Amino acid sequence: MSGVSVCAFDAYGTLFDIKAVVDSSRAALGPKADALVDLWRRKQLEYSWLRSLMGRHSDFWHVTGESLDYAFKALDIDDASLRARLMESYLCPNAYPEAKATLQSLKTAGYKLAILSNGSPSMLTSATKAAGLDDLFDVILSVESVGIYKPHPTAYRLVTDHFECQPAGVAFLSSNGWDAAGGSAFGFQVVWVNRAGQPREVLPAAAHAEVSSLTALPELFRL
């Protein structure tokens, strides 16, 4: 992480536990709970990429709702109140247990901290406030300001434009392999937070470092 002055974090899956958004609804979902959260997330990503390719942008809240509707149909679930509860859960997802202490360590060490997310501004504001992380970030950057989703280079450029720095001065941290590749292709120094132990994506660029959780960052940054 030589020469880094800015740490930019992806939000969902990196700081916030997206699998936990169904926890309060597991009783209603029964054995379909895990299948729902997996399909919901997969369609959420697919729809964001497809909308970018189609030139038909819509904010992430809308995409999240469309993805949930698809998952409901695929799993034969028809419950309007359950849908409302699940959508509401995306506004206040649980932060991973180590997130706050890790962010505080980086901030104390003098790094500028940012979120760079596909999430809409209202979603990100709600999530960071609910988790008590909002005061730790210098800026929360949403792709909504440019109207195209990661991994398009325009999305990553939001960080360098805001901090008036070169890509190599940014450590980008994401739990998504495709996002790690996208950030690396843009020129960031990338840390892949590979929580699920997934193999590396076979793409033109790759992360510079790989960790299993945010607890490894203080050692990686030599704090």
Catalytic residues: 10
Residue 1 · residue 189 · CB < 8 Å: yes
The candidate with the shortest Cα–Cα distance to 146, out of 138, 136, 156, is 156
Distances, alpha carbon 101 to alpha carbons 76, 106, 136, 169, 217, in Å: 41, 9, 10, 23, 11
Handedness of CA 164, 166, 167, 173 (dihedral sign): negative
Residue 138 · residue 162 · CB < 8 Å: no
Task: Map tokens 């590979």 to a residue.
Answer: 194
Scored b (16 or more CB within 10 A) or e, 66-76 reads ebbebbbeeee
The candidate with the shortest Cα–Cα distance to 64, out of 31, 35, 32, 86, is 86
Residues 6+ apart with CB under 8 A from 178: 45, 151, 201, 203
